[in-house]
Structure 1
């Protein structure tokens, strides 16, 4: 079994600092095999914010898969935005924009969907779709395959946001390679969906798991939260950990259980 901790939308520069130490302690207590951070480490891509995000990451267990989000691209400095959009991210966080972790049970690939030409939206390009194929298609069925992006492939009902650009083309590759799980953020809301509900994917259904914001004060009606994903062969358990201010601790909502079937991942009975 593998335990993944899925954090998103940290937004250093606008965090609830009372959450940081309980969150770090909670994560260490989970003894995760891998930490996944699906973007927006900062609020305005400033050096001081990246330095705070770096210190937070260094306080967590490793290994870690981290991808940038749209807030990690400078907004107001137009020169930086268009000519060196992720220089600060590369300097403080990681120079690897396609991080990859693989072991005997899981393979996790991070994809950068942040772009200079959009304020909040994101997209996947043809080169990144090819990388998904190269990394994932050759792996055997005993490996649970996970793709990580900041921008979502699925939305809660009545969401005002858009899914990631070129989602249809990317999902075709994801289905062809038998990718099991897509992790993302951006919405500041926890949500679980299935690719078969929105895409023509030839009978394959991937789990699409959204994480809320782990530390930001911009909760959009939901308490700060992160996901614990327990992968045990053909079974996946998702535990939403929500911040409880009255107790200064994280509590677990009712877990969700999924199992793999010949048509893909479905909610367990």
Structure 2
């Protein structure tokens, strides 16, 4: 059957809205609980019956093979999608009962692929807090280790950057994204492998910025590097949409399984050994 453009448009416009409530999420606790959640795109099931507790002010690293469901899991926590079974709770409250916008007020996300707008650097950082003063923007940029390179640009913070940040390097875009998240100062941080494509000379500055960003926060990190997982309070290993291992770095390297094999491959490729 040939689907016309009008039929495609009708499909899109008939997608049901997620918000079934006008209530705003209000909480002073930032623990996250996944209660037997399942989710799929159409007929393809991606997340299968996952339960997970992330206490507030702790760090949780999520690792697993490509396509295992790591990013989908984080998108469900941020309520970009609604779970089909089970519940996602923030501060003990089921996110389905509250507006998506109010949930995102409590969450900052730093993605692997950063998108910046064709606008000034200052306005790109202020996207995290639109009413911020220049002093607040500059303070966030300093904490994110990007003040120096911004100051060296022709118009400093007023420099217009290309669509998608095309005039900046990968490391520079990542640090501006982190400055944006710092300015927002949300209590929950989700990092989707924020250092995966950064050149070596920028990596240390970026890691320093991430440490500064995540102080005293509830942190969920999708990670591929040893440096971003070994100090996590808990590591969750996902495979084919299921939790197959859970524990600390030390407990997981002492047992056979995906985590140990994953780490062994990473260390051998770098010329190291366990």
TM range (shorter): 0.3 to 0.5
Greater Rg by CA: 2
What TM-score results when the alignment is normalised by the length of structure 1? 0.33
Instruction: Indicate the structure with greater helix content.
Output: 2
Instruction: Indicate the structure with greater strand content.
Output: 1
Ranked by relative contact order (alpha carbons within 8 Å, sequence separation 6 or more), the top structure is: 2
